[in-house]
């Protein structure tokens, strides 16, 4: 879920639908929009020599897309054995129950309301289906239930909406919180520095091949926007709508409602830190 178009200086990548790494294949959902970019990236992840696959974010409730995901896995000689969710927004999770019917798989998520089966997901969990290693990374901020998945064998991280392949993401107030989001970005930066992660496999937009650059861009962008919001408040723009009109004047007005969610989160953050 994006709150802006592509911005100058943002790291560029490639691959929207197809093989992105040795273990990750993207099937692009047919739900493009200003908020979802080219559509939702549904990820099929598997060890190269395994006949079992994990699917991350089945996407919207679109039978043709869900069946295409199953067929893509089957063409590669694999059976979908597990479904994971990065978070509960409908463009990522609405199709999960139907996908579970098609594949007869459990659905694991942080939010108990989204789970189908006995197991959820928590920080530190390691998924080992078919010999795969996927490490669960808590990345709240976009939403309270946002997770990322570290794929160490491919030096990659699947970020859902925490980092997008183009533009910047919404901190979806009131569920999303800016302080949490900044902490999550710093945690992802530590994966690039300490764990050698080089590739971002996002929930929307193209793959990014400079993970550290992407995280640094996001942190710099957030710092800049926060400073702009603080300046706008000091200039007398008190409501979120007024701040959006002032700070996001160069952004397509169709994205202003999403921008207002992020501004509300920024105003809360500034208030919590005694800055406004």
**Distance, CA of 190 to CA of 148 (rounded, Å):** 13
Q: What tens digit of pLDDT does each residue of 18-61 get?
A: 999 999 999 999 999 988 999 999 999 999 999 999 999 999 99
Tell me what percent of the residues of the chain surpass a pLDDT of 70.
95
Radius of gyration of the chain (CA): 18
> For the segment 68-121, what is each residue's pLDDT rounded down to a tens digit?
999 999 999 999 999 999 999 999 999 999 999 999 999 999 999 999 998 999
Give the pLDDT confidence score for residue 225 in this predicted structure.
Answer: 93
Sequential DSSP letters for 184-217: HHHHHHHHHHHS---EEEESBS-EES-HHHHHHH
Residue among 178, 172, 142 nearest 160 (CA): 142
- Residue appearing with tokens 């392949």: 165
Write out the two tokens for 135: 């490490």
Task: Indicate the average pLDDT of the chain.
Answer: 93
Which 8-state DSSP code applies to residue 102? H
pLDDT value of residue 13: 64
The length of the chain in residues reads: 276
In order of their start, the domains of the chain are 13-209 (3.60.15.10)
pLDDT value at 4 more than 50: no
Neighbours of 106 (CB within 10 A): 15
What digits encode the pLDDT tens for the residues 145-185?
999 999 999 999 999 999 999 999 999 899 999 999 999 99
Closest to 17 in 3D by CA, of 202, 150, 146, 214: 202
Summarised one tens digit per residue, pLDDT across range 113-157 is 999 998 999 999 999 999 999 999 999 999 999 999 999 999 999
């Amino acid at each position: 879920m994006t709150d802006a178009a592509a911005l100058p200086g943002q790291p560029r990548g490639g691959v929207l639908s197809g093989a992105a790494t040795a273990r990750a294949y993207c099937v692009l959902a047919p739900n493009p929009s200003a908020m979802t970019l080219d559509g939702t990236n549904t990820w099929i992840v598997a060890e190269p020599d395994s006949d079992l696959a994990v699917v991350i974010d089945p996407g919207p409730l679109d039978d043709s897309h869900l069946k295409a995901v199953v067929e893509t896995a089957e063409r590669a000689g694999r059976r979908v054995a597990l479904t994971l969710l990065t978070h509960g927004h409908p463009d990522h999770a609405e199709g999960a129950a139907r996908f579970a019917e098609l594949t007869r798989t459990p659905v694991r998520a942080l939010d108990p309301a989204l789970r189908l089966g006995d197991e959820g997901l928590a920080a530190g969990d390691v998924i080992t289906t078919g010999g795969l290693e996927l490490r669960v990374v808590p990345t709240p901020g976009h939403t309270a239930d946002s997770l990322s998945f570290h794929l160490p064998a491919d030096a990659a991280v699947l970020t859902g909406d925490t980092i997008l392949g183009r533009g910047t993401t919404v901190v979806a107030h009131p569920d999303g919180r800016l302080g949490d989001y900044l902490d999550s970005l710093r945690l992802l930066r530590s994966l690039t520095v300490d764990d050698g992660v080089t590739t971002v496999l996002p929930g929307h937009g193209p793959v990014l091949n400079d993970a550290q650059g992407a995280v640094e861009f996001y942190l710099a962008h957030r710092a800049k926007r926060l400073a702009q919001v603080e300046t706008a408040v000091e200039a007398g723009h008190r409501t979120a709508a007024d701040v959006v009109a002032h700070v996001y004047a160069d952004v397509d007005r169709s994205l202003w409602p999403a921008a207002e969610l992020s501004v509300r989160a920024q105003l809360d953050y500034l208030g919590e830190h005694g800055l406004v």
